[in-house]
Structure 1
Amino acid sequence: MTHDTTQAFFASSDGTLIYAEAVGNKHLPGIVFLHGLALTSLVWDKLLHDPRLLELFYMVAYDMRGHGRSGKPETPEGHASKLYADDFAAVCKGFGLKSPIFNGWSLGGAVLADITSHLNPNAISGAILSNPMPYLDPAVVTAVAKPEILDLIPGLSTTDDVALAFESRFKFIDTLFINPERVPVQTKWAWMASAALPKPQTFGLMISRPQDPTGLFKAGKDGLPLLLFTSGKDRHLRAEAEQEIARTHFTDLTVLHIEEGSHTLFYDFNDKYVGEIIEFGKRVFG
């Protein structure tokens, strides 16, 4: 059975338009997917059309503000924590989602801290963090991020060195996968094009915006179900640091660690990733 994709733009609380797409039966429980730094909802395309998931869930993905087809504010005020939560709320309202599971990958994982800080506790039924930056704080970024990704930030954000900008984006895409040389060129080029869409001068705003993790910690203590994916060969983030933060603050925690996994478990270990989401979703939604 094929499922049509519904594409839409929803206005957030500050008027910024957020691009989102939905696939599947809107009467099923929902999962909302959010991509990582520099990329777009395109990275979820295979998952959004996976028949195993579509049998059970209404699948939604959106472009984080500053990325893809969504609006790209150029001021610190345009990247306030509450606005990231409001973006999620606008997408949920637009597609009629009631307390979905939130799935944030990489930088997208930090948006869970925005949601739990600024929305009602019933805004989500559970959370999946896929190789995540747990939340944005200088000490946390230092503990979690590896030098390989930090060294690419100047090139991603440069506004006056075209050669460095392109070189950094090519390197960035390759660091996502276990065997980048085996990734179809169509996929790599599509992801590369996505990485060219954020405004270079806004990278700093997006990765250093202030967050208060108090709401995140409270949600974890109060029993918000969390499924955490980590990888032993993630070239961007440290699995041990991700796990330590989650274990410290979440009482209902499932950790799936794949020692041979990359930063893109959902791509390199697709079957295992899908299976774990299905089991988690069944438990959360009953």
Structure 2
Amino acid sequence: MTRRMRSEVVGASGVRIGVRIDGDRDAPALVFVHGWAQSGRVWDPQFADPELRERFRLIAPDLRGHGDSDVPEGGYDDPRAWADDLAAVLSSAGGDAVVVGWSYGGLVITDYLRVHGTRGLAGIVFVGAITEIGKGRPGGRVGPAMAGALPAALSDDLDVALPALRSLAEGMAHRPVPGEVAQALLGASLAVPPRVRKALFRRDVDSADVLASVDVPVLVVHGTDDAVVDVTAGEYTAGKIAGASTRWWPGVGHLPFVESAREFDATLRGFAEQAFEGVLGRAER
């Protein structure tokens, strides 16, 4: 039975996390984690894919401070807060889930791994993702579009922030995307309070040991023309995780799930099916 709804879960320190749900409620779950200054709406192409909706339960939370979630004063520089927020979402999935992290969402997944390990995970997909943050961290290396937007994109002065955020939104895709998509990206960024946009960068995280300890299937997907998160960040992540699979997509930027949605969805579907088969196999042994 298909169920489309908006819901919420309670994350760290009682923060209300808005969640979008679609697909078969009895099917294994795909949990989609969006990036910095965006929302769960970025996954619209996946929620519109009938094959994904038929085979999986689709869950897309809004990170704290974003979208329909609460905007607390703190927790943005605390790995445990991010980890426990995601743990609450995963708990609602009703079983082991494949978690998909885009951009900053990859760092949120790494926070979860740091605190909770791979409990509740059938597999992980990193999409144009960072897994570290801070000066000189190879797993967090940004591209020219992000580098050019900072620090202006963090300003509370609209005249300063707006041009930077607009430039960043325009730089996300390498292939043409509909104008409404580009405008939605910009609108989502502007809807995130400046203090939250800034707080997410107030971190210094090394994840080498965390990545090396991952013991579930992992897929790293990255557009080779990503101007927001450099492709070397994806290469670093894949190199630290034993057995990680990779897909490098030439001519694709920071939005592979939009720019090449059909190929992305097929790749995700194949990976998820294998990951869930592995969970069943381990349970039967």
CA 1:131–1:92: 2 relative to 1, 3 Å: same
- Give the structure 2 partner of residue 41 of structure 1: 40
> How big is the shift at 1:110?
0.7
> How big is the shift at 1:113?
1.2
- Give the structure 2 partner of residue 100 of structure 1: 97
- Give the structure 2 partner of residue 166 of structure 1: 162
CA 1:252–1:166: 2 relative to 1, 3 Å: same
- Give the structure 1 partner of residue 21 of structure 2: 22
* Cα RMSD, aligned residues only: 2.0
Letter paired with 1:165: A
Q: Secondary structure at the match of 1:121?
A: coil
What pairs with 1:1-286 in structure 2 (closer than 5 Å)? 3-75=2-74, 77-93=75-91, 95-140=92-137, 144-160=141-157, 162-179=158-175, 182-211=176-205, 213=207, 216-220=210-214, 223-247=215-239, 249-286=240-277
- Runs of 4+ in structure 1 off by over 6 angstroms are none
Alpha-carbon separation, structure 1, partners of 2:209 and 2:28: 24
Q: Secondary structure at the match of 1:255?
A: strand
Alpha-carbon separation, structure 2, partners of 1:118 and 1:214: 14
Letter paired with 1:132: A
Q: Secondary structure at the match of 2:60?
A: strand
Alpha-carbon separation, structure 2, partners of 1:57 and 1:67: 25
Any gaps of 5 or more consecutive residues in structure 2?
Answer: 278-285
**Percent identity over the alignment?**
21
Please list the CA deviations of residues 38-62 of structure 1 after superposition, one character each: whole Å capped at 9, or x if unmatched: 1100110120231121222111001
CA 1:240–1:218: 2 relative to 1, 3 Å: closer
Letter paired with 1:228: V
Alpha-carbon separation, structure 2, partners of 1:34 and 1:262: 18
Given that residues 223 and 250 in structure 2 are in contact (C-alpha distance below 8 angstroms), is that contact kept between their aligned partners in structure 1? yes
Alpha-carbon separation, structure 2, partners of 1:259 and 1:116: 29
Q: TM-score normalised to the size of structure 2? A: 0.90
> How big is the shift at 1:270?
0.9
Count how many residue pairs are aligned between Structure 1 and Structure 2.
Answer: 277
Given that residues 113 and 212 in structure 1 are in contact (C-alpha distance below 8 angstroms), is that contact kept between their aligned partners in structure 2? no
Q: Secondary structure at the match of 2:238?
A: helix
Q: TM-score normalised to the size of structure 1? A: 0.89
